Amino acid sequence: MCGVLGYYSDVVAEAAYFAYLGLYAQQHRGQQSAGLAVSDGRRIRIKKGMGLVTQVLTNEALAKMNGRISIGHVRYSAAGEPHIANAQPLLGATRHGQIAIAHSGRLVNSAGLRRELQLNGAVFQSTTDSEIILNLIARQQCDSIEAAVVKAYSRLQGAFAVVLMTNDALIGFRDPSGIQPLCIGKLADTILLASESAAFDTIGAEFMREVRPGELVIIDAQGLRSKVINAQGRPAFCVFEYIYFARPDSYFAGKNVHLVRKQIGRRLAQEANLVADLVIPAPDSGTSAAMGFAEEAGIPFDFGLMKNRYVGRTFIQPTQALRQQGVRIKLNPVRALLAGKRVVLVDDSIVRGTTSAKTVEMVREAGASEVHLAVASPMFLHPCHYGIDIPSTDHLIAPERTKEEIRALLGADSLHYLSLEGLYAAVGAKSDQVCDACFSGRYAAGMYEATQDLDFLEDDND
């Protein structure tokens, strides 16, 4: 899932700096590319590139981007390969003036929409869904940008949180099921939009509320206006935000992510019922759940694996070879702590299994007498059609194997997954209030159509 940011102020001319900080706080949501668009009221300037926020948005770049409206994006490629052409925001000149757009999520009907637009003469320069949305908006025969967005919205299916700006307005909208997060914040007279509320804390802004599923918000000189465009979606917020994606200090539906993860760990401890000497987290996303597990089980908690914090998340790196390499350079066991102990290793999830196998091996090699793997989510059995880059079940460890086969493959003494019921109880939601499709196979907003060949981008020399 990517991270988006929107900033609107009537007076402050430093939108770029605030947007930069909001993006920086959401770096964990994507590390392949970063970008910012800023309007000074006359024209929109864009700076984007491959790499981290700090690499792309330098002081020098920000100093040239005066303005009071801004949108930003950090990208993890769910649709479209990692390539400079797919870095966002995208900019277009339309009948409504310049429009910059950035998006998180995945349209399940993108192939059909792209084909239809191409048949009508559209030319694509990226393989992103954002370009499809921009084209749809630009082609509506409407007098106002608001009306054009509403009409374009009716064509979109799947998961999306979009921020869009003109030279005088900031617009945000969210898919009818609310799969992708989008929050509204306030700092004096300034309004912000962000994937996660933690972005507001960084800026000193206050969290107002989440954009509702199917809601469009428009922020301009008249203030903030809102309109629910589609109230028909069944609520399906991505439960994986609680498990893995989001920062522990973010809030969704009034719940703090760290506390939800601790609750998940407690529930897992009840279900696993293990006897052990030590609970350790798989850093960093297993930490909160491991703390809850240890508290509930009455087993000491400690940090048995130390992480080099300057290596990116292995899950987000794009190839298997890089992922494997990433694991070796990223973690180091604390032998003095692990030697001779019966260890419970708590991980947030097992998707491909590569990282978990290496981690179990590392703990064992450090001298642990037993390694029990406790997973703070149910079995990952189905591909995500809404944002995670797992196109088919071939990439998952669980679908074709029994739990015992997975345990043997990972080299653990025992393996414990959280039940679906346990997940609902810990998150405080019913099964029809969240998206849990990667565990249950119940897709609330449809599945991909047949894909189109999108291999048309030039070699990237950026």
Cα angle 444-88-181, degrees, rounded to a multiple of 5: 35
Q: Which of 20, 424 has the CB closer to ligand SF4? A: 424
Q: Is 387 in the site for ligand SF4 (CB under 6 A)?
A: yes
Q: Where are the alpha helices (DSSP H) in 394-457?
A: 403-410, 420-427, 437-440
Site string for ligand SF4, 143-182 (x = CB under 6 A): ------------------------------------x---
Window contacting ligand SF4 (CB under 6 A); options: 121-129, 215-223, 236-244, 391-399? 236-244
Q: Is 2 in the site for ligand SF4 (CB under 6 A)?
A: no
- Identify the CA nearest to 7 among candidates 55, 93, 54, 65: 65
Q: Is 238 in the site for ligand SF4 (CB under 6 A)?
A: yes
> Alpha carbon of 5 to those of 18, 87, 94, 294, 350: distances in Å?
10, 14, 22, 36, 29
Q: Which of 106, 358 has the CB closer to ligand SF4? A: 106
Active site residue 2: yes
State which of residues 69, 165, 274, 438 lies at the interface with ligand SF4 (CB under 6 A).
Answer: 438
Q: Is 239 in the site for ligand SF4 (CB under 6 A)?
A: yes
Three-state DSSP class for residue 296:
helix
Burial 241-275 (b: 16+ CB within 10 A, else e): bbbbbbbbebbbbeeebbebbbbbbbbbbeebebe
Q: Backbone phi, then psi, for 3, in 5-degree steps? A: -120, 135
Q: Is 390 in the site for ligand SF4 (CB under 6 A)?
A: no
Cis upstream peptide for 284 (omega within 30°): yes
Cα angle 93-96-97, degrees, rounded to a multiple of 5: 40
* Catalytic annotation, pick one of 2, 183, 238, 438: 2
Q: Which of 318, 441 has the CB closer to ligand SF4? A: 441
Find the shortest distance in angstroms from Cβ 385 to ligand SF4: 7
Q: Which of 179, 398 has the CB closer to ligand SF4? A: 179
| CB contact set of 454 (below 8 Å; sequence gap of 6+) | 80, 127
Q: Is 375 in the site for ligand SF4 (CB under 6 A)?
A: no
State which of residues 162, 170, 297, 384 lies at the interface with ligand SF4 (CB under 6 A).
Answer: 384
**Cβ proximity of 148 and 140 under 8 Å:** yes
Q: Is 435 in the site for ligand SF4 (CB under 6 A)?
A: yes
Window contacting ligand SF4 (CB under 6 A); options: 12-20, 37-45, 235-243, 318-326? 235-243
Dist CA 308 CA 356 (whole Å): 17
Residues that bind ligand SF4 (CB under 6 A): 179, 238-240, 384, 386-388, 435-438
Q: Which residues are catalytic?
A: 2
